[in-house]
Homo-oligomer: A and B are copies of this chain.
Amino acid sequence: MAELTGNLLVAQSGGPTCAINASIAGVITEAGKHECIEEIYGGLNGILGILNEELIDLNDEKRRAIEGLKYTPAAALGTCRYKIDFKKKPEKAAKDMDRLFEVFQAHNIRYFFYAGGNDSQDTSHKIHEEAVRRGWDMRVIGVPKTIDNDLPHTDHCPGYGSVIKYNSTTVMEVGFDVSSMATDDGSCCIIEVMGRAAGWITAGTVLAKRGDPAAPPHIILLPEIPFEEDRFIARVKEVIDAHKYCVVVVGEGLKNPQGEEIGADKSRLDAFGHAVLAGAAEKLKEIVQGRLNTKTRTVLLGYAQRAAAHCASLTDVNTAFACGEAAVRAAASGKSGFMVKIVRQTSAEGAVTFGTDIHPLAEIANVEHFLPRDWIAEDGFLPNEKFVAYAKPLIEGEVRPPSEGGLPKYIVLEKNRVEKKLAPRS
């Protein structure tokens, strides 16, 4: 393979996580070790910023800032939910693609890394194919990122370990709180977490039980299991009769047997045409209060759960960093059209570690990976020991961001712009 010399461009896409910046730090750190890579640029707000030729010079950032990316939440380069949609808007998509390659060529981009989830891997795949078609020699590698943990072929997705660590910590703490208030009146607390179609995030809170069947959460409602009101209410009553309180975790995408999301606000769609979700917990609260007359409170963690870098998993952050490094190594060795994937290694003693490999983007783009049914208890109310064995290693280790005045001190990049070479996007 002939060595390809040129510039690197890295960008972030989709919902932020508290580990995605660690992947960018991994890309930048590894890139510094390869002579074939000249400038290291970041695209602001993903594809959207690249279309507008908004690039920043990452070699111009302080070394301390690059280190700080490892523990800084959200997307330090900015992110977007912009989709190049050849199916629904073929003309606009073709025009966007032309513009992207004008930018790549104007800045001699030969290494392109895009960190994101399903939609973003699809974008990476299309860019790789276009590069081949246009004869622009550029290596494109997707970096996995999604708290939803629904990318296929990878053991898990960076960001997932941290979100379930934070959510489990929160569920455990709320459990202590509700338990300490439990008197004969009974009470219920419903905690809503993210996860549209796949129940990985919701399932992750089972770790808060630490293997104790009596400990909260008592019921976990996964979007994979159709919600049946009568069975649910019977179970809540059973738990309250036994423990005087009940902690329920619900995924935002919980569906009724007709397949309708119980918390969906159908009046609003996001850029990808998905319904904006909110209110599964509120809906369940209405049901519990209405049918059992039990005092019920809700917690809606929302964005807090994917941004909670103060409670991130060290395993997750280190693996995210390793994914960034692996992406650059793969590209430098001539690969293109792949996504980095995480591979689980289990020692003879049962110790779990994570390595990386690469997988063709063609087999990843737009494929959703769901929680296996046999990782869920037969009654559908809790993930089982197979899931626990899978998830437990992902939350190991604490990241301790530096603190100033009692609050974490996160990094903000200087974002010095690369001089534009093109006319503004028309």
Name A residues whose Cβ lies closer than 8 Å to a Cβ of B.
Answer: 12, 15-16, 18, 45, 48, 72-81, 165, 168-170, 172-174, 176-183, 189, 191, 207-208, 210, 268, 270, 276, 278-279, 282, 285, 289, 295, 297-304, 306-311, 313, 315, 392, 395-398, 403, 405-408, 410
Which residues of chain B come closer than 8 Å to A12, judged between CB atoms?
A: 180
| Given A45-B183, A311-B310: A304 touches B408 (CB 8 Å cut-off) | no
Q: What separation, in Å, do the CA atoms of A48 and B309 have in the docked complex?
A: 40
Q: Are A170's CB and B406's CB within 8 A?
A: no
Which residues of chain B come closer than 8 Å to A270, judged between CB atoms?
A: 295
Q: How many copies does the complex hold?
A: 2
CB distance from A363 to the nearest CB of B (A): 29
Q: What separation, in Å, do the CA atoms of A315 and B407 have in the docked complex?
A: 13
CB distance from A140 to the nearest CB of B (A): 23
The closest CB in chain B to the CB of A164 belongs to B406
Q: Are B405's CB and A173's CB within 8 A?
A: no
Residue from A170, A182, A285, A306 whose CB has the most chain B CB atoms within 10 Å: A170
Q: Are B407's CB and A169's CB within 8 A?
A: yes
Residue from A16, A276, A289 whose CB has the most chain B CB atoms within 10 Å: A16
Which residues of chain B come closer than 8 Å to A168, judged between CB atoms?
A: 407
The closest CB in chain B to the CB of A313 belongs to B406
The closest CB in chain B to the CB of A409 belongs to B210
Q: What separation, in Å, do the CA atoms of A173 and B165 have in the docked complex?
A: 16
Of B170, B295, B406, the residue contacting A308 (CB under 8 A) is B170
The closest CB in chain B to the CB of A398 belongs to B403
Q: Are A73's CB and B176's CB within 8 A?
A: yes
Q: Are A183's CB and B16's CB within 8 A?
A: no
- 16 residue pairs of the A-B complex, CB under 8 angstroms, read A16-B177, A18-B173, A74-B176, A170-B304, A172-B407, A172-B408, A172-B410, A173-B308, A174-B302, A189-B303, A268-B289, A298-B302, A299-B301, A300-B302, A311-B311, A395-B405
Q: Are A177's CB and B407's CB within 8 A?
A: no
Q: Are A165's CB and B210's CB within 8 A?
A: no
Which residues of chain B come closer than 8 Å to A181, judged between CB atoms?
A: 15-16, 75, 78-81
The closest CB in chain B to the CB of A281 belongs to B300
Which residues of chain B come closer than 8 Å to A279, judged between CB atoms?
A: 282
Q: Are A297's CB and B301's CB within 8 A?
A: no
Q: Are A406's CB and B183's CB within 8 A?
A: no
Which residues of chain B come closer than 8 Å to A15, judged between CB atoms?
A: 181
Q: What separation, in Å, do the CA atoms of A252 and B279 have in the docked complex?
A: 17
Of B48, B170, B301, the residue contacting A183 (CB under 8 A) is B48
Q: What separation, in Å, do the CA atoms of A77 and B16 have in the docked complex?
A: 40
Residue from A75, A77, A299 whose CB has the most chain B CB atoms within 10 Å: A299
Q: Are A180's CB and B74's CB within 8 A?
A: yes
